[in-house]
């Protein structure tokens, strides 16, 4: 089965992984509704392109999926307080990266892309307001059965155009055992959490690295799923509570 973690190979000369992520079946978010999400962008020539989502951990660090990152940190930046990719929004701020660290056990060649999480260090600190702010990362909990909210600028339909305006969609968290029964134990481990809302609703290319929030808590970082997006299999996310100790070791306290 083909997976969807490919990071905009069609838009960039640099391909990071063989997977993909977007939001299918969602609606347009209001400006400031998700102040913790940033657009991770890569430079190509004189232009910058959105490649993945990312999530504010604290003033100096932003978290994303490891499969979103490769090459020099100098070619990467995050834009926070962003609502529309093609516009300059009132409160958006740009921060270049000083460095990034992928989880040391991340394996982009293994089934299920285990340990798909990374910390990016910013060249200068973020100032928080109603449009740019951190979110509390989960430290425990299964969240099974809860309706949670995914947000991102990924493709609106499989193989289609990406969203210019931030999208959102509600999806239900599955138990670990149910996710294993859908995908198989060779793909799903304790560092994963799955969400599903029926065929026609999914993450997709461009949503990778972005947030899934349950209540006021960040529960997952978008990782992978079916390459067609919106299919009959659940989307798979990095379970942030599983990696809390590593995040603190890399980025300090929230």
Domains observed in the chain: 5-19+35-134+244-251 (2.40.10.10), 136-242 (2.40.10.10)
pLDDT of residue 168: 92
The residues assigned a catalytic role are: 67, 116, 208
pLDDT of residue 199: 66
Decide the pairing of beta strands 167-173 and 192-196.
antiparallel
pLDDT of residue 6: 46
Per-residue tens of pLDDT for the chain, all 254 residues: 344 454 433 333 333 333 334 466 778 999 999 999 999 999 999 999 999 999 999 999 999 999 999 999 999 999 999 999 988 888 999 999 999 999 999 999 999 999 999 999 999 999 999 999 999 999 999 999 999 999 999 876 666 667 889 999 999 999 999 999 999 999 999 999 999 987 667 778 889 999 999 999 999 999 998 877 867 889 999 999 999 999 999 999 99
pLDDT of residue 97: 98
pLDDT of residue 181: 96
- What is the DSSP track for 92-154? -EEEEEEEEEE-TT--TTSTT-TT--EEEEESSPPPP-SSS---EEP-S---TT-EEEEEE--
């Amino acid at each position: 089965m083909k997976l969807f973690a490919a990071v905009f190979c069609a838009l960039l000369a640099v391909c990071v992984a063989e997977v993909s992520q977007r939001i299918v079946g969602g609606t347009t978010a209001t400006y400031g509704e998700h102040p913790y999400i940033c657009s991770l962008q890569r430079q190509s020539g004189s232009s910058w392109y959105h490649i993945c989502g990312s999530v504010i951990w604290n003033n100096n660090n932003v978290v994303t999926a490891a499969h979103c990152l490769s090459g020099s940190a100098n070619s990467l930046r995050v834009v926070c307080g962003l609502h529309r990719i093609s516009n300059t929004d009132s409160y958006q701020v740009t921060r270049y990266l000083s460095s990034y660290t992928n989880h040391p056990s991340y394996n982009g060649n293994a089934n299920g892309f285990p340990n798909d999480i990374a910390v990016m260090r910013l060249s200068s600190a973020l100032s928080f307001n109603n449009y740019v702010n951190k979110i509390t990362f989960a430290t425990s909990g299964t969240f099974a059965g809860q309706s949670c909210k995914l947000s991102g600028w990924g493709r609106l339909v499989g193989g289609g155009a990406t969203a210019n305006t931030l999208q959102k969609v509600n999806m239900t968290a599955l138990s670990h055992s149910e996710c294993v029964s859908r995908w198989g134990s060779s793909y799903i481990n304790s560092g994963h959490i799955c969400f599903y809302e029926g065929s026609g609703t999914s993450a997709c290319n461009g949503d990778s690295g972005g947030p899934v929030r349950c209540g006021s808590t960040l529960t997952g970082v978008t990782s992978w799923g079916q390459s067609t997006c919106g299919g009959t299999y659940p989307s798979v996310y990095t379970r942030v509570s599983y990696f809390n100790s590593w995040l603190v070791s890399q980025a300090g306290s929230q």
